[in-house]
Chains A and B, each alone.
Chain A
Amino acid sequence: MSENNIEKNDLVSKEGLSHKEDSLMTVYMRRFKKHKLGNIGFVILVVFYTLALFADFVSPYTMGWTDKTKSYHPPSTIYWTYNDGEKTRFRPFVYEQKIASIAFKSYGVIAPYSFRAISIETIPGKAELRSIANEKDFGERKSTIVSDVARYYSISQEGETMRRLAKAIDELEKDSDPDAKMVFNIGTQEVNGKVTSLDIHLVKGNKNFITFFNRGIPYKFLGLIKSDLHLFGSETGGFFLLGGDGLGRDMLSRLLHGSRISLSVGIVGVFISFIIGLLIGGISGFLGGAVDSVLMRITEIIISIPSIYLLFTLRSSLPSGLSSTQIYLLIIIILALVGWATLARIIRGMVLSLRNEDYVLSAKTMGLSDLKIIVKHILPNTMSFVIVQLTITIPGYILGESALSLLGLGITEPQASWGNMLSVARNYRVVQDFPWILIPGFTIFLSIMAWNFFGDGVRDAVDPKSKH
C-alpha cells in the first residue's frame, strides 16, 4: 500500500500546483488596477499627499507671507515668453498689479516705467519692504523709493547709503533693458549673534519673472531641515497663481500648507477610531451575551447623536486658548471619539459571522483560547472590509475638520486649513467679487471624491463576489 502511495504522490505532484504562486495581495492588486475610478482616485490622493508633504518646497511663499497692498489680488496671468529685444525666449513672467479703483474691486497693471524696491526677506513672517513708484516724473519716482527705503530701515535720507541708492537708481534708469534689476546692499545687521546682510531688489519695469528652484523665503522642512529652496516663484513678489486673500496672502501657498492639516486629520483620526472600534466591536461580537448588549447600546447612543452637534459640543467644552498643535490633536481626538461607533458596529457584525466559520471551529479543536482565536483568525479576516470602511470614513473626517475650522472652532489663524480659509466665504459679497476665495472648497471636494473613488476601487478589488 505504501508503494502505491509514493506512485500516487508523483502523479498528484505532476498536476498538483502547475500555475505560479499568486499571493492574496497580488490578486487584490490586479483587481484594483482594473477599476478606472479607483485608479483615478488613487492618483489624485498620491498627488495631494505628496504636495502636502512638500508644501514648503512647492509653495512660492510661506503660509503667513503677506503683501498688505495686495488684498484680494486676482489670480495672476502668466505670460510664457519674453522678447528682450533680440529674440523671444521661454521666460515666464507676471505683471505687477496695483489697486486701480478705490472701490477695491479691480487691479491694474503698473506702468512699464515704474520703479520698485523690495526687501529680500531673510526672516520669514517679518513685514517686507514693497515700495512701488510709478509717478510719471523720474525724479519723483526716485524720491519715493529713497524715502520708502529710508523709512523702512530707519536710516537717514541724507546719509551715505541713501546717496548710493540714488546713484543706483539713476544707473538702472539709464539701462536700456526696460526690465532691468539689481540687488542693492543696505548694510548688515546682527540678530541673535548672527550677522545677516540687508539686501533689496531694485527693479525697473512692471514684470515679475518666475524662476524655478529659486531661493525664496526660508523655511524649515518638516520642522527639521533649514532650506530656502522653492520649486518656483518670483523673487520680486507680486505673483499670485491662485489669487490673494483679504490680507494679501498667496492662496496657493496657504492651500498647500493647509492641506497638511486637512488631509492628515482624516488619516490619523480614522486610525484612532479604528483601534477603538476594533477593540469594542471585536469583544462585543465574540463574547456576545450581556457584554455585547451593553457595548452595543452605548454604541447606538453615540451613533444617534448628530455628529456635527457632538463635535461642536465637545470642542466648545474645552479650553479656548490653545496652541495650534494642541488644537490639531484635540480635533483629531474629538473626531475619533465621535466616529468609532460606526466602525465598531461593522466589526462586530463581521466577527459575529466569522465566529461560526469552520476554520474558527477547527482552531478551537486545536486548543486555542478565545483570545488567540480572535487575534489570529477572526481579526485578520476582517481586515479587507475594515480597510474599505476606513477609506470611506476619511472623507467624513476631512469634512468634520473643515466644518469646525469654518466656524472658528477648529484650526485658528495664522495656521491655514482649508476649512478656515473658507470662513471668509460666508460673506456673499466677497464670494461675488473675489470668486477665487472658494478654491479650498474645490480642493475639499476633490479630496473627498478621490477617497471615495479609491475606497470603491479597494472594496471591489477585495470583495470576492464583485463583477471584476
Chain B
Amino acid sequence: MGQIDKEKKIIEVKGLKTHFHLHDHTVRAVDGVDFHVRAGETLGIVGESGCGKSITSMSIMGLVQSPPGKNEGGEILFHGEDLLKATNARMRQIRGNKISMIFQEPMTSLNPVYTVGFQISEVLMLHQNMSKEEALAESERLLDLVGISDPHERVHEYPFQLSGGLRQRVMIAMAMACQPEILIADEPTTALDVTIQAQILHLMKDLKETQNTATIFITHDLAVIASFTDRVMVMYSGVCVESAPVKELFKNHMHPYTEGLLSSVPVLGEGKYDEKGERRFLKTIEGSLPDPRNYPKGCRFAPRCTKVMEKCHQSEPSLVLHGEDHEVRCFLYSDEIKMAGE
C-alpha cells in the first residue's frame, strides 16, 4: 500500500451539480455530490448507468460539453483552488499534467493517425517543455514502465497495431507521463478481457505504490472495487448514497441500494445450488432506474426500496456521517432532511 497522508486532501468536491439543459427538459446528471481524495489514496466511485459517475469525473476535468451541460453549483477544490472557476487556460495547464484521465474504450481513445510515441511525446512537450528527442526517450521509458515489451520498437507503432490491453497500457503511460497528482480512471478495464483486465489492474496497483498517485476509480464492478480501492462512494441518480472505507462498506453496508447491489451480483465460487442443495436465486432490486428528467419526490431510491417508509416519499434524506468515516443518505439511520442548497 502506498502512503496515505491522512492530513493532505488533494481534491475536495463539495455539492457538485452538473445539469444538462435540453430542448424541453433538464437532466440533473450530478445533483449534489461531496467527496475528497487524499494523497496516495484510491477512491472508488461505483454505480449503474445514469448515476452520474462519469459526469462527475468529466466535471472535475472540465470536459463537460457546455451547452447543453452546465455547472449549477458546488466547488471542486484542488489544493484549495476552485476548478469550476478556473479559466480555460488554467484548466489546460492542469489537464494531463496535474490531473489526468484514462477512458474506457481503448479502441477509440487513441488517435489512429499518430504513432504511440508521438501521442505520449505531445503531453511531455506541452507540459514539461521537453524537446522532441527528450520526449521520445521519455516515452520509451514510460512504455517500459507500463510493462510493454520492446518499447524501442513499439514507440513507433500505430494504435491499430496494438491489442486492446496494450492500448490501455499506452493510455496509462500517457496519463502518468507528467506524474500527475490525481489519476481519474473511468471504467478503464470494462472493455477488456478478464485476463487482460487482471494485467491492467495489477499494473495500476504497482504504479499506485511506486508513484503514490491519488486515484479516482470509476466502475460498476463491485469485485474490482473490492480488490483495488481504499474508499468507496456509491452513487445513485446523481447523488452519493453511501461512502465508506472499502472493508467497512462490504462488511457493514447501510444503504438498501448498496445492499441490493451486493446481493445481486453472482459471486465466483457460489454455483447453481447452495449448501442445502436448493436452487440459488440472486436477490434483485426491483424496478428500474428513475427517469433523470423527472426524479420522484423524496428519496430517489424510495420506489425500489424494500425498507421504504412513508417519510421517504416526502423528503430527501441528507448525507450524514456515522462513525469515523462512514456516510449514508437514508432515513433508516437519521432524520436529517436534505436542505435546498445542498
In the complex formed, the residue of B with least CB distance to A19 is B291
Which segment, of A10-18, A206-214, A231-239, faces chain B?
Answer: A10-18
Report the minimal beta-carbon distance from B161 to chain A, rounded to whole angstroms.
Answer: 25
The reply to whether B23 and A12 form a contact with Cβ atoms under 8 Å apart is no
The reply to whether A15 and B23 form a contact with Cβ atoms under 8 Å apart is no
The reply to whether A8 and B286 form a contact with Cβ atoms under 8 Å apart is yes
Q: How far is the CA of A18 from the CA of B291 in the complex (A)?
A: 9
Asked if A164 is an interface residue, CB under 8 A from chain B, the answer is no
Q: Interface size bucket, A side?
A: under 10
Report the minimal beta-carbon distance from A3 to chain B, rounded to whole angstroms.
Answer: 14
Asked if B303 is an interface residue, CB under 8 A from chain A, the answer is yes
Chain A residues, Cβ within 8 Å of B291: 18-19
Q: Mark A55-82, 1 if CB is under 8 A from B, else 0.
A: 0000000000000000000000000000
The reply to whether A34 and B286 form a contact with Cβ atoms under 8 Å apart is no
Chain A residues, Cβ within 8 Å of B286: 8, 11-12
Report the minimal beta-carbon distance from A464 to chain B, rounded to whole angstroms.
Answer: 15
The reply to whether B303 and A34 form a contact with Cβ atoms under 8 Å apart is no
Q: How far is the CA of A14 from the CA of B303 in the complex (A)?
A: 10
Q: How far is the CA of A12 from the CA of B304 in the complex (A)?
A: 10
Report the minimal beta-carbon distance from B339 to chain A, rounded to whole angstroms.
Answer: 28
In the complex formed, the residue of B with least CB distance to A468 is B23
Report the minimal beta-carbon distance from A15 to chain B, rounded to whole angstroms.
Answer: 5
Chain A residues, Cβ within 8 Å of B288: 12, 15
In the complex formed, the residue of A with least CB distance to B290 is A15
Asked if B287 is an interface residue, CB under 8 A from chain A, the answer is yes
Q: How far is the CA of A19 from the CA of B287 in the complex (A)?
A: 16
Chain A residues, Cβ within 8 Å of B23: 34
Chain B residues, Cβ within 8 Å of A18: 291
Chain B residues, Cβ within 8 Å of A19: 291
Q: How far is the CA of A417 from the CA of B299 in the complex (A)?
A: 69
Chain B residues, Cβ within 8 Å of A12: 286-288
Q: Mark B117-132, 1 if CB is under 8 A from A, else 0.
A: 0000000000000000
Q: How far is the CA of A432 from the CA of B287 in the complex (A)?
A: 76
In the complex formed, the residue of B with least CB distance to A30 is B23
Q: Mark B164-191, 1 if CB is under 8 A from A, else 0.
A: 0000000000000000000000000000
Report the minimal beta-carbon distance from B326 to chain A, rounded to whole angstroms.
Answer: 30
8 A-B pairs closest in CB distance: A11-B286, A15-B287, A11-B287, A15-B288, A15-B303, A8-B286, A12-B287, A34-B23
7 pairs, A vs B, C-beta closer than 8 Å: A11-B286, A12-B288, A14-B303, A15-B287, A18-B291, A19-B291, A34-B23
Interface residues of A (CB under 8 A from B): 8, 11-12, 14-15, 18-19, 34
Interface residues of B (CB under 8 A from A): 23, 286-288, 290-291, 303
